[in-house]
Every structure is written in C-alpha cells, then in structure tokens.
Structure 1
C-alpha cells in the first residue's frame, strides 16, 4: 500500500506539471526572496526537498498584480489574476528540481455564481471575553469550542485541545501516555468538521499555541471566500449567504481593504479640532475595543492630550513583554457611526504583526450587526442592542 500511495503521489505531481517546456529558474542557494505586488520579503521562501509541489499563495487581491521569485542567481516574474495559478521549476545546483506553484489566494470556485438559495446557519455564544464561540464537531465524535477570527486563516486547534479533547493523536499511544512528545505533524486525518449546518470535508487543521481566552482553537475568514458572512449579535447567529441578503435597511456600506491577505476597514478619531484616519484589522477574538499601532500613533501625533486611564504589561505566547497605555478617545467614527469615550489601547513597542496596522477589537465591533461581503469586498454595519453597553477599561 505504501508503494501504491507513493506512485499515486508521483503521478499526481507529474500530471500537474505535464506541460511542454515548463519555465525553469536556477539557484545555488535554497533561500528565495519574493516580491508580492510591491512587497519585497528577502526571507520569504526556502526550497524544501520534502514537498512534491510547493505552493506560494500570493496575498489576496481582486486586482491583477505581479509576483517575482528571486533566487541568488535567477528570477521569474508572474502575472497573478484572481483564481489563477502558475507552475514552474527551480533547479538547485544543476541537479535537484523543486516543483513550484504561484497561486492566487482567491480560489477559482469562489468566482463562480452560486445558485444555492438557502443559507447555512452557525449558532454562537458571545463569551465574557468578547469572543464568538462556536461549537464544532470533528469526525462526528470530538466536540470543541472554536472562535471565529477575522485576523486568521483556515482551522487552527490548540495543542492542548488536540491532546485532551480529540482522537487525532490516537496513532501515538506513547504521546497520549506522556512518555514521548506528541508529533503534531502526524495527526490522524480530519475527514469532517461541522459547525451548525455547514460541513467541511477533509479540511486542513493546523496546530497552534495561540487562541482567544478559553477556546480550543479558531477558524478564519478565508473559509468563506466568495460568500457573504452575516454576524447577528442580536440572535447569536453566523449566517453564511451565497448571495447578498435583500433586507439591508439600517445598514451602512463601506469598502473592505486587504493587506497581507487580512481584511481591514477605515476608522477616524476626532480629538478637539483634529482628525486621525487609519486602517483597522477586525480582531473579533480580542476583548479590547481599539488597539493602535505604536508607529502609527507616533507618526500621527495621536494621544498627546488624551487622558491615560490605564497602563499595563502584556505578554505574547513567546513571553515577550509589551508595555501599553490605554487612553480615552472622545470620538471614533466607523462607517459614519459615531462612538464616544472609547478606551483605546496603544502598543508601547513594535506591532507583533510585522507591519503597521491598527486593530478593531470585539468590545467595539460587537455593537454592530455585520455583513462581510467576501465576493465584492464590502462591509455593512448596523447598530444593535449592545450599542449602549459600557466599555471595558
């Protein structure tokens, strides 16, 4: 059986690359730099001999862009359109061939018109830490609590939950008995994952150490590419539509932007006679209201005259300390809606995301019913019954 599986895998790779005269670039080093639509990462890629087809997924955009791979001695430049992929070969030291693919983050199927009229519904609980908690069942047997995370991708399960709440390590009895360290790269297959009325067959599940308070893992926005996701806090439902709902009275629309494949929206502070407009990722796994990038805040000259209501030290999963200040912002506007006296946490060090961006936490975001249109890249907001709640300090 092992040899048959290897043969099938080999034939699959051959079929992927069954093109006449595939483009070839040369290299004498495994390290590859990538320019993705104008963003150059000198340490983006490493040639991996253990992967038969190595796929680089370009940052999400609905615009056509160029992606360039740079080896130490050669390069290839590829035009990437939504729904496309491009195959080529990297030859290392004149001997070893690395089959490589550059793919759009937007799957071709998400570009097609969906005729399914009935939406899927996923009940959720809003936790004491402002996380959207969803009961999820893996392989018909294991029940976990996952949170919906707009700053994440795919499915992630915590290593602790994998050990204690699933049968994904049943093939490693010594690890379950505590005799050896679990090999999280050799989990049993997840053949089914269900949340509410929606089912994913053979989804990729990634182990993690990071998730919201008291959660067993998280699931990201890209699972709903090409669809409309309605977050109804009044009725505690995620509703997945194949076409935009017609009942949009009271909703205000604005454009969704994307950076590094993360969706963001614009928001504006008003302080005295000054306005400060920035881009905000939607971190609905965060218990905070607003979190500002220290570089953005410094460059804008933000918060100089605002009242400091709290200082604290945060630790990330690696143990790195981040000193923060929380100030009280008199006015923050989102989609034309005005929110007053919003606690605003300002990071005291470099943004852990690696690029300049602010965050909209769920202590603010939960005050709106939301429709995220991942087919046309718009967001719709409407104030809900949580609007008048007191913010966390």
Structure 2
C-alpha cells in the first residue's frame, strides 16, 4: 500500500512540474509577443525614444511614421565611437532634391530591453529638435503599433489590442513604406476627400500637396495667416504659406479651424498631402500589423488650442 501511494504521489508531482513548466512557457511566449516603449512628446510634436547603438552610444531617436530606415544626424554621429561607415549613396528627401548619405551596414540597436541585430543605418543632416536620428514602422514589421499619447507609451504586439473596440477604424494604404489614410476637408461650400500621409516627423497639423493646392485655389479660398520657411532633413529650404482650414474630418472625428500649410506656385515638388504631429498627438493611435488600417480615439489633447502661427 505504501508503494502504491508513493507512485501516485510521484506521478502527481511530475504532472504538477510539467504543468508549471508549460504555464511558464506560455506566459513567457505571451510576454515576448508584447512589449512597451516609453517615449517623450517634444515641443515640436515629435515622438522621442531613448536608444543604444552597438552597446555603447546613447541617442534619442524620433519615431517617424514616414521613415523606412534608421538614420542618424551628422552631429549625433560625431559624438559616437562605435560606428563604421562602408560607403555613401544618393538618397532623396521628401522636400525634394538628391543628397549624398554615408551608410553603415551592420549595427546593434537596443530600445529598452528589445534588441535588433544587423541593422543598417544612414547619415542625415537633420532630425526632430532634441533627437539625433529617426526610425520608422519597419522595425515592427508584422506587429501592431499602439501609440498612447496619454500615457506616453508605445506598445508593440502580435495581436490587436482589445481596447481597439472603442476606437474608430479607418482604412489605410501602405505604399513605398509610407502610410496613407483618407480624410475630408471643408473648403467653402465643398467637402473634398483626399489621401493624407501619416507623418509624425512633421510638426505641423496639415500640409497640402501642390496639385490639390493649385486645382482648388487654396490661396484664394482659405484665410492666409502667415508664411514660413521649412527645412527637410538634408537642408532643402521650402517656403510654406500658413492658412486656416475650416474643418477636417477623419472618420467620425471632426476637427475645426485646423492650421494648414501649402506651397503657393510650386508644381509637383510637394507630391503628397500630410497630416503631422500637431493633429496626430490628439489621438491615441493603433496601426494594424498589415498596415491596412489605422484606429483612432480622441485623447486628452484633442481639444488643446492650436499654437499661434
């Protein structure tokens, strides 16, 4: 009888051990599928994230929804010891013009506890103020990107967060490593719909493309409040007119008296319309893993007054 009890006890203990090991593996796998990245929202509406390059060099990187590679500024590079450049190539910036850029093929990038091996990086002249470079959604390929501006946390996961049920879902198009959604503009008596590039690297609210600007005579139909010079990441200077857009509709979300910019007289240089950080920060945002949808929910910044032009 004693032998039988010992065998049963042994079997029970063995079963419990297997169950504990399995449970821990499931928890570990679930944890590995989701990780959080704290960020700072800068005064220029950029998402700034602390990173480590090659285990040695610390740098603040801007999360840039329209970027397709890791880039570092010339100034940031000058302060680093771990980089080795293999050559240079010609690249094109969104502001126009071709520029020579050095590249480094094989680097280790660490953000929080997450590491990426064999990462190539490129040299740029500029990034968002207070940051030494930028990276884009390609780092999180095949994963959901949850940007919570209330908590200042970006969460990366394999599954759609349950809270997405409370968000408004918009169809998106991911083309040439850039993410677009459709939004409608109220201009005079018209409501005009067009695709906008989601551009977290642009500090402003809205920037219209040249074709839309000229076809709809925005300089005549919108109230102009100022003019301003912009520089892209390679130093190309662009003069933008600032105006007030009566209303912008993003799904069921309506924003009134929205600051908008455009380049008067330019033809074909600004090829796409942009929604920038001044608007994006007003929503908590989830980008789908396949980049075919964007989920929006107004947050605590939604009714924040727009800055004076």
In the alignment, which of 247, 252, 255 is matched to residue 339 of structure 1? 255
Relative to structure 1, the CA distance from residue 319 to residue 195 in structure 2 (aligned partners, 3 Å threshold; closer, same or farther) is closer
Match of 1:310 in 2: 226
Matched position secondary structure for 1:304: helix
Matched position secondary structure for 1:248: helix
Q: Are residue 199 (structure 1) and residue 115 (structure 2) matched?
A: yes
Match of 2:306 in 1: 391
* Aligned CA-pair RMSD: 2.3
1:260 Cα deviation after fit: 2.9
* Distance in structure 1 (CA, Å) of the matches to 2:166 and 2:105: 47
* Distance in structure 1 (CA, Å) of the matches to 2:140 and 2:149: 19
Q: Are residue 135 (structure 1) and residue 50 (structure 2) matched?
A: yes
In the alignment, which of 118, 126, 139 is matched to residue 41 of structure 2? 126
* Distance in structure 2 (CA, Å) of the matches to 1:154 and 1:318: 15
1:208 Cα deviation after fit: 1.8
Q: Which has the higher contact order (CA 8 A, sep 6+)?
A: 2
1:252 Cα deviation after fit: 0.2
Q: How does 1:239-318 map to 2 (within 5 A)?
A: 239-316=155-232
Encode CA deviations 1:28-47: one digit per residue, 9 max, x unaligned.
xxxxxxxxxxxxxxxxxxxx
* Distance in structure 1 (CA, Å) of the matches to 2:106 and 2:164: 41
Encode CA deviations 1:297-328: one digit per residue, 9 max, x unaligned.
11233352321111123344555442221111
Match of 1:238 in 2: 154
Relative to structure 1, the CA distance from residue 144 to residue 277 in structure 2 (aligned partners, 3 Å threshold; closer, same or farther) is same
In the alignment, which of 257, 272, 275 is matched to residue 357 of structure 1? 272
Q: Are residue 159 (structure 1) and residue 159 (structure 2) matched?
A: no
Matched position secondary structure for 2:221: coil
1:170 Cα deviation after fit: 10
Relative to structure 1, the CA distance from residue 125 to residue 276 in structure 2 (aligned partners, 3 Å threshold; closer, same or farther) is same
**Is residue 122–residue 198 contact of structure 1 (8 Å, CA) maintained in 2?**
no
Encode CA deviations 1:336-358: one digit per residue, 9 max, x unaligned.
200001110112324556xx310
Match of 1:117 in 2: 30
Matched position secondary structure for 1:297: helix
Q: Which has the higher helix share?
A: 2
* Distance in structure 2 (CA, Å) of the matches to 1:209 and 1:216: 10
* Distance in structure 2 (CA, Å) of the matches to 1:376 and 1:157: 25
Matched position secondary structure for 1:204: strand
* Distance in structure 2 (CA, Å) of the matches to 1:188 and 1:361: 30
**Is residue 120–residue 196 contact of structure 1 (8 Å, CA) maintained in 2?**
no
Match of 2:135 in 1: 219
Q: How does 1:311-330 map to 2 (within 5 A)?
A: 311-316=227-232, 320-330=236-246
**Is residue 66–residue 177 contact of structure 2 (8 Å, CA) maintained in 1?**
no
Encode CA deviations 1:131-165: one digit per residue, 9 max, x unaligned.
10000011222110000001111211112211213
**Is residue 291–residue 360 contact of structure 1 (8 Å, CA) maintained in 2?**
yes
* Distance in structure 2 (CA, Å) of the matches to 1:193 and 1:274: 48
Relative to structure 1, the CA distance from residue 188 to residue 319 in structure 2 (aligned partners, 3 Å threshold; closer, same or farther) is closer
Relative to structure 1, the CA distance from residue 321 to residue 281 in structure 2 (aligned partners, 3 Å threshold; closer, same or farther) is same
* Distance in structure 2 (CA, Å) of the matches to 1:377 and 1:317: 27
TM-score in terms of structure 1 length: 0.63
